[in-house]
Chains A and B, each alone.
Chain A
Amino acid sequence: MKLILTTPTDQEIVITRVFHAPRELVFECYTKPELLRRWLFGPNGWAFEVCEIDLRVGGKYRYVWTGPENASLGIGGVFKTIMSPEKIVNTQLFDDDWTGGEATVTLSLSEQHGQTTVVTSILHSGKEARDLALQSGMEHGMEMGFERLETLLNTL
């Protein structure tokens, strides 16, 4: 059940996690904006301003979080492969391109006994890009904490 994070190559981050739900449902949570915006959060205190998903090969997606003092964090890309409900491949690029290039994200969902294993592979354009992405975890992680998560869990 615990999240497993590995860095199998210089350019890659792989995150594995099991969910107690059929994969059709998990797939929906990743692809329907009204569901995605309920769990995919940016930095603490930031609002999920734009969440657009054109779920077809060649279609684009775009997420923008806005924060204090008109700051914004935008990310977008193009869908390369869509195999509902088992696989999505898309490109990923931050607006200010702070990781130095586009990454390729592969989401794989496999179901066994009503549980879905989600494997997210983020292939960066280089080692430096990957390390910068990992490094952001340090800064965001501090900001986010678990405080807001607790709040949300109590209201649901």
Chain B
Amino acid sequence: MQLNSYQPNRLDITFAALADPTRRAILERLMTGEATVTELVKPFSLSQPAISKHLRVLEQAGLVSRGRDAQKRPVRLEAQPLAEATVWLEHYRQIWEANYQRLDTLLEELKTRSETPTPKGAKQ
């Protein structure tokens, strides 16, 4: 089985970047549209350097990009890595859910069996 064919580095960086409430809040804000650093500082009780530091982490993870406008350099969301991380978790979740749905079915069968003790193989 080819389990190691995939390079986890990119997802490592994505998840590390997402593992911070301020950075997630910044991403949420950017989902409504691009913003300048000044605009991003406003809703948070953090200094501009602190916000800039978070932005650098997000930028390195490819989660945001900065515009070319030399003065404003607006920050915008880059959806691709976020989508990849979501898909990744979703497939893992689906494996478990598929197994658990089989367990649901089995439990129903066992419950019915213990409630109505019918001889095995008997037909009505």
Contacts and interface: CB of A to CB of B under 8 A. Distances in A.
B104 A19 contact: yes
Interface string A18-60: 0111000110110000010011110100000000000000000
Interface of B: 1-4, 6, 8, 11-12, 15, 87-111, 114
Contacts, number: 113
B93 A3 contact: yes
A40 B95 CA distance: 10
A75 interface: no
B103 A138 contact: no
**Residue of B15, B98, B109 with most partner-chain A CB within 10 A:** B98
Given A7-B15, A41-B99, A149-B102, 6 more contacts: A5-B89, A29-B110, A41-B98, A131-B12, A138-B6, A141-B95
A15 B8 CA distance: 21
Interface residues of A, number: 41
B11 A135 contact: yes
Contacts of A142: 91
A83 interface: no
